[in-house]
Amino acid sequence: MAHRAAPSSAPRHIAIIMDGNGRWATRRGLPRVAGHREGARAVRRTVEAAIEQGIGWLTLFAFSSENWRRPAEEVTDLTGLLRHYLRSELNELAEAGVRLRVIGERDRFGPAVQQELADAEVRTEANTTLNLVIALSYGARAEIAAAARRIAEAAKAGRLEPASIDEAGFAAHLATAGMPDPDLVIRTSGEQRLSNFLLWQAAYAELIFDDVLWPDFGAANLAGAIAEYTRRERRFGARPAHTGAARPEASR
């Protein structure tokens, strides 16, 4: 996978809500798992395209905490596809310089899946071409509540002065601590909502809703979203700023 530097106006961090696998399968008279399998191929195309575009961070919403309410058979299929993806793609990701990270309640998966996720993170932790973040059993409200609990516990134990907590201090307790906030959030399938994804982190992100179903998403869709992003003015609640400009600290 070729890599080139991104222009200064390109987003540093792109987050994608991968929606539409089920509808893609239904329209073709196929079982839902067929849509999920095709969606995994779209992940490969998108990772390759992100590397080609010189994007530094790519976060994919793969499995929400609400997805556990789906039929047991579909959850099993999704878990199986996750393990298959790790086994079939990890070598290529590692060779391409991709660092894999996982956010979310990974302890809700079985021990075998947890171990495979941890092994993949360790194997790729020195890579720097692309930071690929997979959100698994993730929900933003639960993430924020967990951060609040950790802060409350630290304050109760005397390790933290409540008055010292600011936005940066709170963000340090989130699952995304140390990561840049997303500049651009893309959702496929035509739905126009965040669905409990990166609610804190996406406060100033540009939002793009693409009608394409996730299994059909590819390099052209990503390039189109990036082009749209570069045409927008980002204001951050304050003075106008081009999308490629640094975020004004006074805008918070």
User: Is 195 assigned a ligand-binding role in the annotation?
Assistant: yes
Catalytic residue among 19, 181, 183, 210: 19
**Residue 68 annotated as lining a ligand binding site:** yes
20 is in an annotated binding site: yes
Of the candidates 67, 127, 196, 216, the residue annotated as catalytic is 67
67: annotated active-site residue: yes
Find out whether 193 is annotated in a ligand binding site.
yes
24: annotated binding-site residue? yes
Is 131 annotated in the active site?
no
Among candidates 218, 234, 227, which has minimal Cα distance to 49?
218
The reply to whether 87 sits in an annotated binding site is no
21 marked among binding-site residues: yes
Q: Is residue 22 marked as binding?
A: yes
The annotated binding site for substrate is made up of 20-24, 32, 36, 64-66, 68, 70, 187, 193-195
The annotated binding site is made up of 19-24, 32, 36, 64-66, 68, 70, 187, 193-195, 206
Catalytic positions: 19, 67
The annotated binding site for Mg(2+) is made up of 19, 206
